[in-house]
Structure 1
Amino acid sequence: MSTRILRFKQLRERVPFSRMHIDRLEKAGKFPKRVRIGENSVGWLENEVEAWIASRAAARQPPGHEPGATPS
């Protein structure tokens, strides 16, 4: 099974964070690590980015259960 490598522009279409914010998340272990694809080029594995997005969606609170929400 092969996976695509996303360059930064493609990554930004899926995760609208700045390069600096992505760097911080990576260093904190909260975002998939980049892979070197050339002397001056990096990318991110598409399947890892998609799994990260799915984990963020799964971690959401159900509607009405946000902190500070009042019960109906």
Structure 2
Amino acid sequence: MSEARILRMPAVMERTGLTKPTIYHLIKVGGFPEPVKLGPRCVGWSAEAVDEWIEQRISGTDRCANNGGN
């Protein structure tokens, strides 16, 4: 079992190749994993959820009902 990790926005952007506005747009339309609240003004993403999202894109099995047009 791998260790759970939380990624902050710069790491998510680097891992996905997406910009911050695109990530937040995809979250709004249900096409990207929801962030985890870490504090009053701090969020992060499960590395596992982001990696799964990437794998779904690569394999063409995007399971999101609305992928934001991507």
Who is 1:42 aligned against? Answer: 43
**Aligned positions, number:** 60
Alpha-carbon RMSD? 1.5
Gaps of 5+ in 1: 61-72
Alignment of 1:21 with 2:27, yes or no, is: no
Runs of 4+ aligned structure 1 residues displaced above 2 Å come to: none
Calculate the TM-score normalised by the size of structure 2: 0.78
Whole-Å Cα distance in 2 between the matches of residues 24 and 59 of structure 1? 20
Gaps of 5+ in 2: 62-70
Who is 2:67 aligned against? Answer: none
User: Highest Rg: 1 or 2?
Assistant: 1
Whole-Å Cα distance in 1 between the matches of residues 13 and 26 of structure 2? 14
Calculate the TM-score normalised by the size of structure 1: 0.76
Whole-Å Cα distance in 1 between the matches of residues 14 and 20 of structure 2? 13
Taking every aligned residue pair, what percent have the same amino acid on both sides? 37
Shift of 1:40: 0.9
